[in-house]
Amino acid sequence: MDLKLSSPQDCIGDFTYNFIWQHKGEKLNPTETIPSQVDTNYSYDAVVDALKNGEDVRIKGDVGTRLGSSLGVNLVYFGGNGKELPEVGSIIVDGNACSHLGLSMLSGAIYVKGEVTEPLGNVVQVESDLDGYKKFVSITWLLHHPEEQAINAILEPNEFKDGELVLTDRILRNTLAARCMKEATVRVKGDVGISVGILMRKGLVVVDGNAGMNAAALLNGGTVVVLGDAAEFLGVELKKGVALVKGNAKGYVCAKMSGGRLICRRTKPIPPVRETKLETEDLTLLSKFGVSGMLTLNYGRYEV
């Protein structure tokens, strides 16, 4: 599929259609034609269907924000299982791409000839098999498939070391490790954006820096550790698993939380979440990340 755009457009190849379950089609109608096309009239869902069927989508011109959002996800909202689609096509952009490229992306690849604006989504750059293009793949896909050739193609300074994906490029990313379903580890030397660890079921994310809003949102297993501060809505809709914040957590902690546990500096959680006594497993986790002895008195365990 080939498109030519006269001006950048948002949400191309966005499998969620800008979170259609929230706006019910008011912000984006999947059957509408993508604006600014030259000589074609493809709709948003036509592009998504092509990608689902393994077809590559080439775009000539610049693109807007949220390119390839949830690319390769078999979304539950549309009757899927929430897991990755193995044969999804690639998106190839002969131009620049705005921010949030590859939010919650799970499989496939995105190629960009021009520049990409931060923050990125759940992607990392690897060696490209297309001359003149930057290639981005899903971080979660790498965690799920460490045996694949792409592991060896990760561009420095990032690396796959001792069985862990280590990100040291200081690029801000949103939805990092989204939907991870394997006992794998990703370590970030720097800050992360919004929704780190969203919808994880297994695995470990360690952020050696600060986290944006919605850290550990919808966490359904695994562990998210933030060694710096966390912005608002830490643990929002947390269902299962563990979230630990060593630094400070801003307001609205544990909003709509239904399970799992959160360990952070003492705060006022959103009811019905309550503070309980730190248990041995909590003290062990705190000690692992440099909090022990009297310092543990500053921390609480929060659960429903």
- What is the per-residue pLDDT for 255? 97
Amino acid of residue 259: G
Give the gyration radius of the chain's Cα atoms.
20
**Does a structural domain hold residue 186?**
no
**Does a structural domain hold residue 115?**
yes
How many CB atoms sit inside 10 A of residue 266's CB?
12
Listed residue (280, 20, 12, 183) closest to 4, CA to CA: 12
- What is the per-residue pLDDT for 28? 95
| Domain total of the chain | 1
Q: Provide the residue range defining the domain that includes 93.
A: 1-138
Are 87 and 33 in contact by the 8 Å Cβ rule? The answer is: no
Integer CA distances (angstroms), 10 to 13, 28, 34, 128, 183, in order: 9, 10, 9, 24, 34
- What is the per-residue pLDDT for 163? 83
Residues (pLDDT < 70) of the chain are none
Q: How far apart are CA 238 and CA 21, in angstroms?
A: 19
Torsion angle (degrees, nearest 10) of CA 267, 272, 273, 279: 120
- Give the model confidence (pLDDT) of 15-53 as tens digits: 999 999 999 999 999 999 999 999 999 999 999 999 999
Listed residue (90, 87, 83) closest to 179, CA to CA: 83
DSSP 35: T
- What is the per-residue pLDDT for 146? 86
**Does a structural domain hold residue 36?**
yes
DSSP 238: -
**Does a structural domain hold residue 49?**
yes
**Does a structural domain hold residue 133?**
yes
- What is the per-residue pLDDT for 152? 78
- What is the per-residue pLDDT for 271? 96
- What is the per-residue pLDDT for 86? 86
Secondary structure class of 195 (helix, strand, coil): coil
**Does a structural domain hold residue 157?**
no
- What is the per-residue pLDDT for 147? 80
